[in-house]
Amino acid sequence: MATVTFDKATRVYPGTERPAVDALDLHIEDGEFLVLVGPSGCGKSTSLRMLAGLEDVNGGRILIGDRDVTDVQPKDRDIAMVFQNYALYPHMTVADNMGFALKIAGTPKAEIRTRVEEAAKILDLTQYLDRKPKALSGGQRQRVAMGRAIVRQPRVFLMDEPLSNLDAKLRVQTRTQIASLQRRLGVTTVYVTHDQTEALTMGDRIAVLKDGLLQQVGTPRDMYDTPANVFVAGFIGSPAMNIGTFPVADGIAKVGSAGIAVPRTALDSLVADDNSSITIGFRPEALDVVTEGTPDALPVVVNIVEELGSDAFVYGALVGEAGAADVHSGAGDSQVIVRVDPRKVPAKGEKIWVRIRTGEQHLFHAGSGQRITA
C-alpha cells in the first residue's frame, strides 16, 4: 500500500502550447479510493497515464509513497492498470490471462495458480478459469481484467473508465462490486471516469478537472453541498443544478418579478468584476411547487416530465420573466429542472409556479464563478 502525490505535475503534448495537465497538486492517502472526473479532454486520463509512466512529465514530479517515480519505467512503479477495453488475450484461458504478468516476471507456477485462484474466488470467476474470453459476457471480461490486476498485488490500482463498455444495468452492478472490492483489499486506487454518478457513488474523495486544471477535491457530499465554483456546481449532480446570473439591487437578486434575498455577507463580498450581479444555483430538489400568487414564485411552462417511479422531474422554461434566458441547467439554456411529487405530475404545456427554498441556494461571483461563502 502507498500514498500517491502529484507535485505540480504538468504534461504538455508536442505541438501544443496549453498543458493537457497544468501543475496538478493532489495527494491521495494510503488505501483511499480517489476518482478523477471531468468532461472529455479535461486531462483526467492524461493524469492517470502520467502516474502509470505512460506519459512524460514535463514539469513537477510524481511520488508513490516516499519514492519519486517521475522518471521510473512503468514496469518498476509497482502499479496495476485496468483499461476500458479489457485488453485480454483471446487465445488464452481466463486463468492464463490473469496470471500472465506473473509468468513474465518469473513467478513460480504454484504461486501463480494460488494467486489466480484466490483472485477468482474474490471476483466469483472460479467456474470460468478454463474458458476463453469470447465465452464470457462483458461484465465477466471486466472482472477478469480486474483479476489480472489483483494477482500482481500492486501498491496502487489505476482504472481508466473500466465500465464504459458495459450496458447501464451491468455498469451499476459492476461499480458496486469494484467499490466493495477496493474496500476489501485496501489498495490505494485512482479511478478515472467522465460519469459524475460513478464518481459520487464510488469515491472516498473526488477530484474534478477542467481544461487540465484541478477545480476542487473533496468528498462526494462536499462536492454536492459546497461546490467551489460554477463549473463544479453544474457538473456534479444528476439532474444538474439550475444556474443563473441576476442583477442585485437593495440586497435582492431580481429574477424577473421575483426576488431572492442575498445575505449581507455575500453582498459585501461582491467585487467590481461582478458588475452588480450575482450567480445563483439551485438544485431541482430545492424548488417547491407553490400556488399562483405566492410571493417570489417563478412561473415555469412544462416541456417534458421525466417519471422515474420514486421520483419525477419537470423540465421547463421560465416564462414572462426578464433574465429567464440567463438560467440554464443540464437540460440546456433557458431550461429549469424541478423535482416534483411523482404522484402529482403536471401535464406537458401546463404552467406551474415554483419557489426556491430559503437557504438552499448556492451563491457565486458573477465575474470569476467562484463560490461566495455567506
Residue 249 CB neighbours (<10 A):
10
Question: What is the residue type of 16?
Answer: T
| pLDDT > 70 in the chain, percent | 95
DSSP-based three-state secondary structure for 314: strand
233, 62 contact by CB (below 8 A): no
Kindly state whether residue 138 falls inside one of the protein's structural domains.
Answer: yes
Based on the fold, state whether residues 302 and 353 are members of the same structural domain.
yes
Boundary (domain end) residue, out of 215, 233, 251: 233
Q: Is the pLDDT of residue 233 over 50?
A: yes
pLDDT band at 69 (very low <50, low <70, confident <90, very high): very high
Tens digit of pLDDT for each residue in 327-337? 776 555 668 89
Tens digit of pLDDT for each residue in 289-344? 999 888 888 888 999 999 998 999 999 988 765 444 467 765 556 688 999 999 98
Q: Which of 217, 193, 163 is nearest to 4 (CA)?
A: 217
Based on the fold, state whether residues 194 and 276 are members of the same structural domain.
no
Kindly state whether residue 374 falls inside one of the protein's structural domains.
Answer: no
| pLDDT > 90 in the chain, percent | 64
Mean pLDDT of 270-286: 92
CATH number of the domain where residue 304 is located:
2.40.50.140
Q: Is the pLDDT of residue 255 over 90?
A: no
Based on the fold, state whether residues 266 and 345 are members of the same structural domain.
yes
Kindly state whether residue 373 falls inside one of the protein's structural domains.
Answer: no
Based on the fold, state whether residues 79 and 176 are members of the same structural domain.
yes
> CA-to-CA distance for 331 and 342, rounded, in angstroms?
19
Mean pLDDT of 261-287: 91
- Per-residue cell: 155: 501498491
Kindly state whether residue 371 falls inside one of the protein's structural domains.
Answer: no
Mean pLDDT of 93-101: 93
Based on the fold, state whether residues 39 and 79 are members of the same structural domain.
yes
Q: Is the pLDDT of residue 32 over 80?
A: yes
Strands 188-193 and 33-37: parallel
Mean pLDDT of 208-237: 95
Based on the fold, state whether residues 61 and 210 are members of the same structural domain.
yes
Based on the fold, state whether residues 108 and 167 are members of the same structural domain.
yes
pTM of structure: 0.89
> How many domains does the chain contain in total?
2
CATH number of the domain where residue 44 is located:
3.40.50.300
Based on the fold, state whether residues 175 and 157 are members of the same structural domain.
yes
Question: In this predicted structure, what is the pLDDT of residue 87?
Answer: 84
Question: In this predicted structure, what is the pLDDT of residue 333?
Answer: 64
Based on the fold, state whether residues 310 and 213 are members of the same structural domain.
no
Boundary (domain end) residue, out of 233, 265, 280: 233
Based on the fold, state whether residues 44 and 68 are members of the same structural domain.
yes
Average pLDDT score, the chain: 90
Give the dihedral of Cα atoms 18, 19, 23, 29; nearest 10 deg. Answer: 140
Kindly state whether residue 370 falls inside one of the protein's structural domains.
Answer: no
Kindly state whether residue 202 falls inside one of the protein's structural domains.
Answer: yes
Boundary (domain end) residue, out of 233, 263, 295: 233
Which domain covers residue 108, as residue numbers? 4-233
Based on the fold, state whether residues 85 and 211 are members of the same structural domain.
yes
Which of 31-35, 262-266, 327-331, 357-361 shows the lowest mean pLDDT across its residues? Answer: 327-331
- Per-residue cell: 34: 480517489
Residue 240 neighbours by CB under 8 Å, 6+ apart: 234, 329, 330, 331, 337
Kindly state whether residue 34 falls inside one of the protein's structural domains.
Answer: yes
Helices 109-122 and 138-150, interaxial angle, to 10°?
130
Mean pLDDT of 166-170: 81
Based on the fold, state whether residues 277 and 160 are members of the same structural domain.
no
